[in-house]
Amino acid sequence: MYTEQDLIKIAKRQNNKKRNYLIVNKLQGKHIPVIPSKALKMFDDLANLVTHKYTDEKILVIGFAETATAIGASVAIKINAPYIHTTRENIQGEEYIHFTEDHSHAIEQKLVKSDIDSIIDKTDRIIFVEDEITTGKTILNIINKLSNLYKKDIKYTAISVLNSMDEQSEEIYKNKNIDIYYLIHINSQNYPKTADTYKDDGQYFTKAKLKDFSDNSKKIKITDIHSYVNSRRLINPMSYKKLCYELSNQILQNIKLQNVKDILVLGTEEFMYPALFTANEIEKNNKNVKFHATTRSPIQVSNTSDYPLHTRYEIASLYDENRTTYIYDLKKYDMVIIITDSKNQKNSYTELVNALISCTNDNIIIFRWC
């Protein structure tokens, strides 16, 4: 169905001694701009691996932030199971279940404890959804946390687009009766050497460099759309899909697609599925649409032709102005639509808008789902 060449490129992480490389999925819609329908098809193909496997069990789907939040939502909707994804954001007044993601640039992951409390006794099996499973340790970390907190016999499944687990890691899962499903298995043994072959000679736009475009960014309008649902909290998948459809409808009513051909839709960090869903609805209007999202991942960029990322823009997070995030390989579009669930003020969007303006984008629209 898919091959390694279809899906992945190897990039180099910046200042990460635990793992120097990053697998960049060409169809995932995170770092590389993707046609929305192609991303959703891949997610659907992944979901099909478990669609008819556990029909007699009550399922909870957990996706992993930040790169697998949209994949997890797609799987949950496909199998009609309650969904929640891990988060690195703070939700006021909530207690968390904390665990770690060992090789990540930001190792803390957490789930809202009250939501897990409310569903755990109604759950026979938890399906963890990842974009990539390397050793499987992250999922084992959370299983251990859940087992210690809840004295309930729960079954577990791990599904991922990519799997690079070795025989020893798979044997651990087998002994713990954890099912594993994936689209393709990869051998990552040579990835560190591959990452080291690339020159760090791409184009970097720092925050200071982007300030040159600030005068134009002040003109950008932000439109609030209500009926928001937060997938960092436990959600009903069908209700979520319906509200995403309503979001896309309202956005389509607020934009003018006449004389517009090439469109970019941007999500923000963990907030991916509603933006991707909307991008797909816009694509149905016979438009050339690309989708990707801002990210916490600091990745080196290179001018080498077969390297996946060539230009990096350093911006303040829309969720925390003291946190640096990144967006890669922007270009000129007829229209750019930013869709976010950030509640912060307009000046929080300045650096992202400046990055777009630096590529001569002059038709930028921001929608805030709140």
| CATH number of the CATH domain containing 9 | 3.40.50.2020
Each residue of 287-327: pLDDT tens digit? Answer: 999 999 999 999 999 999 999 999 999 999 999 999 999 99
Q: What is the pLDDT of residues 5-14, one digit of tens each?
A: 999 999 999 9
Given a cut of 80, whether residue 219 has pLDDT beyond it is no
**pLDDT for res 216:** 65
Helix (H, G, I), strand (E, B) or coil at 15: coil
CA 149 to chain centre: 28
Given a cut of 50, is residue 47 above it in pLDDT? yes
Q: What is the mean pLDDT of residues 57-78?
A: 97
Dihedral (C-alpha) 36, 42, 47, 51: value to the nearest 10 degrees?
110
Distance of CA 7 to the CA centre of its chain: 16
Angle between helix axes 273-283 and 69-79 (nearest 10 degrees) is 70
Q: Same domain, yes or no, for 159 and 124?
A: yes
User: Are residues 110 and 146 in contact, defined by beta-carbon separation less than 8 angstroms?
Assistant: no
Is 282 found in the same domain as 222? yes
Averaged pLDDT for residues 149-177: 96
Looking at the structure, tell me whether residues 173 and 253 fall in a common domain.
Answer: no
Q: What is the CATH number of the domain that holds 264?
A: 3.40.50
Q: Is the pLDDT of residue 27 over 80?
A: yes
65 shares its domain with 138: yes
In this prediction, residue 208 carries a pLDDT of 87
Nearest to 300 by CA among 190, 195, 194, 193: 195
Distance CA 194, CA 9 (A): 10
- Answer whether residue 244 shows pLDDT above 80: yes
Same domain flag for 15 and 149:
yes
Choosing from 195, 230, 262, the residue where a domain stops is 195
Cα separation, 155 vs 240, whole angstroms = 25
* Same domain membership, residue 189 and residue 291: no
Identity (one letter) of the amino acid at 278?
T
Domain match, 135 and 218 both: no
Q: What is the mean pLDDT of residues 91-112?
A: 79
Quick: pLDDT tens for 74-94: 999 999 999 999 999 999 999
Q: What H or E segment, with its residue span, contains residue 185?
A: strand 178-185
Contact 149, 121 (CB under 8 A): no
Q: Within this chain, do residues 44 and 190 fall inside the same structural domain, yes or no?
A: yes
What total number of domains does the chain contain?
Answer: 2
Tell me what the mean pLDDT of segment 354-369 comes to: 95
pLDDT at 100: 75
The verdict on 45 and 181 lying in the same domain is: yes
Please indicate, yes or no, whether residues 169 and 146 belong to a single structural domain of this protein.
yes
How high does pLDDT run on average in the chain? Answer: 94
Within this chain, do residues 172 and 247 fall inside the same structural domain, yes or no?
no
pLDDT band at residue 217, thresholds of 50, 70 and 90? low
What residues make up the domain containing 214?
A: 203-369
Residues 110-131: what's their mean pLDDT? 97
Buried-exposed string 219-237: b where 16+ CB fall within 10 A, e elsewhere: ebeeeebeeebbbbbbbeb
pLDDT category of residue 105 using cuts at 50, 70 and 90: very low
Mean pLDDT of the region 54-67: 97
The mean pLDDT value for 200-205 works out to 97
The burial of 122, by beta-carbon neighbours within 10 Å (0-12 exposed, 13-18 middle, 19 or more buried), is given as exposed
Instruction: For strands 311-316 and 324-328, give the pairing.
Output: antiparallel
The pLDDT of 194-210, averaged and rounded, is 94
Q: Round to whole Å and give the CA distance between 307 and 353.
A: 26
% of the chain residues with pLDDT over 90: 88
Q: Do strands 288-294 and 262-268 pair parallel, antiparallel, or not at all (unpaired)? A: parallel
Q: What is the pLDDT of residue 218?
A: 63
Would you state the pLDDT for residue 19? 87
pLDDT at 16 over 80: no
Render pLDDT for 142-159 as a digit per residue (tens, 0 to 9). Answer: 999 999 999 899 999 999
In the predicted structure, residue 234 carries a pLDDT above the cut 80: yes
Confidence of residue 270 (pLDDT cuts 50, 70, 90): very high
**DSSP label of 295:** B
Which of 195, 218, 249 is at the close of a domain?
195
Residues 110 and 215 in one domain: no
Q: Which tokens belong to 191?
A: 């990835």
User: First vs last Cα of the chain: how many Å apart?
Assistant: 38
Q: Of 195, 217, 251, which marks where a domain is finished?
A: 195
Query: Per the omega criterion (within 30 degrees of 0), is the bond before 66 cis?
Result: yes
